Amino acid sequence: MNTTHQINPSEASASVSFGPGQGDLTRLDIRTPWSRAEVYLHGAHVTHFQKHDEPPLLFLSEASRFEARQPIRGGVPVIFPWFGPRQELPTHGFARLSEWVLDTVALASDGACQLAFRLPRLQEWATGRPYAVEYLVTVGRELRLDLKVVNESPRDPFEFEGCLHTYFTVGDIAALRVTGLEGTRYLDSLAAGAEKQESAASIAIGAEVDRLYVGTEAEVQILDPSLKRRIRVAKAGSRSTVVWNPWIAKSKRMPDFGDEEYQRMLCVESGNVGPDRIELAPGASHTLSVTLSSEPL
């Protein structure tokens, strides 16, 4: 059943409707004066954000699964409490596989629509530590994402990795440049995690890339001449930036990703992973905030 909630009926400025999305998973459709967005309760996964006068900002694979036990391929998977593979446990943690709770829907002072999600406590993938995770998705001119983790233990520290694994739509992967990472260090997953220095003034992608840039807090930009668009990834509470594109061979190996789709996407992921992982003192909290915006290039 679809239900629509008009947030500000007098001006009809924003609305949120609830209904079945792909695979019958529950989806929220958000409209604001500037943009549209879609968010699934499965993973609190933002699968779509588009300003009215631009192509979609987020890439979503046409081959994505929409199943309760599978991650969605594209949009913004929420990675928590670990990044990457972990023995018998799901790669990139369980947050992206969990059904989140929508706590509130509100209108921000500037007219943007704010949705507050909470990760329920799950026995099956419990870490043995008491913690709470809140995720605020703000849809307006920009897409703002705030992931807050609270260590509820009065005695023990809580260590975790977190990442907003954002897939961007690009016009032509071979034509774009990424700026904001020059002079930084990265761990190259394609070279067994070897530490390297980013020497390029702007990064071009011409092959598979899977890099964890450490200690990176500056804004990253994707300059996309093909779509004539500049994407800005501004962040706070994040020291890691992962840049990933599977290129040709890996795309073919991935069952939930089209063979040619690597040409139209790039992941620039903001978080705290590997050596930048967070250790929270008892009672402490940490918020990872990412603001995604775009403008003509």
- 269 belongs to the catalytic site: yes
Question: Closer to ligand BG6 at the Cβ: 49 or 244?
Answer: 244
For strands 78-79 and 45-51, give the pairing: unpaired
Told to check if 104 binds ligand BG6 by CB under 6 A, we report: no
121 DSSP assignment: P
Query: Residue 52, SS3?
Result: coil
Residues 176, 222: contact at Cβ < 8 Å?
Answer: yes
> Beta-carbon neighbour count of residue 178 at 10 Å?
24
Question: Closer to ligand BG6 at the Cβ: 49 or 213?
Answer: 213
Give Cα 8 to chain centroid, integer Å: 28
- 5 belongs to the catalytic site: no
Question: Closer to ligand BG6 at the Cβ: 91 or 104?
Answer: 91
Told to check if 244 binds ligand BG6 by CB under 6 A, we report: yes
- Of 17, 189, 287, 293, the one binding ligand BG6 (CB under 6 A) is 189
Question: Closer to ligand BG6 at the Cβ: 63 or 150?
Answer: 63
Shortest distance in whole angstroms from residue 195 CB to ligand BG6? 16
Question: Closer to ligand BG6 at the Cβ: 128 or 206?
Answer: 206
Shortest distance in whole angstroms from residue 73 CB to ligand BG6? 7
Rounded to whole angstroms, the Cα distance separating 272 from 267 reads: 15
Question: Closer to ligand BG6 at the Cβ: 25 or 265?
Answer: 265
Site for ligand BG6 in 119-178 (CB under 6 A): 165
Give Cα 195 to chain centroid, integer Å: 25
Q: Which residue is nearest to ligand BG6 (CB)?
A: 91
Rounded to whole angstroms, the Cα distance separating 276 from 278 reads: 6
Shortest distance in whole angstroms from residue 33 CB to ligand BG6? 33
Shortest distance in whole angstroms from residue 182 CB to ligand BG6? 20
Query: Residue 288, SS3?
Result: strand
Of 257, 267, 251, nearest to 205 by C-alpha is 267
Q: Which two tokens stand for residue 159?
A: 């260590």
Rounded to whole angstroms, the Cα distance separating 15 from 28 reads: 10
Told to check if 261 binds ligand BG6 by CB under 6 A, we report: no
Site for ligand BG6 in 9-68 (CB under 6 A): none
Shortest distance in whole angstroms from residue 7 CB to ligand BG6? 33
Q: How big is the chain by its Cα radius of gyration, in Å?
A: 19
Of 112, 115, 146, 109, nearest to 34 by C-alpha is 112
Q: Element (H or E) spanning 251, and its range?
A: helix 247-253
Shortest distance in whole angstroms from residue 96 CB to ligand BG6? 8
> Beta-carbon neighbour count of residue 280 at 10 Å?
20
Q: Which of 42, 45, 48, 165 is catalytic?
A: 165
Told to check if 72 binds ligand BG6 by CB under 6 A, we report: no
Count the site residues for ligand BG6 by CB under 6 A: 9
- The residues that touch ligand BG6, with contacts defined as CB under 6 A, are 71, 91-92, 165, 189, 210, 242, 244, 269
Active site residues: 165, 269
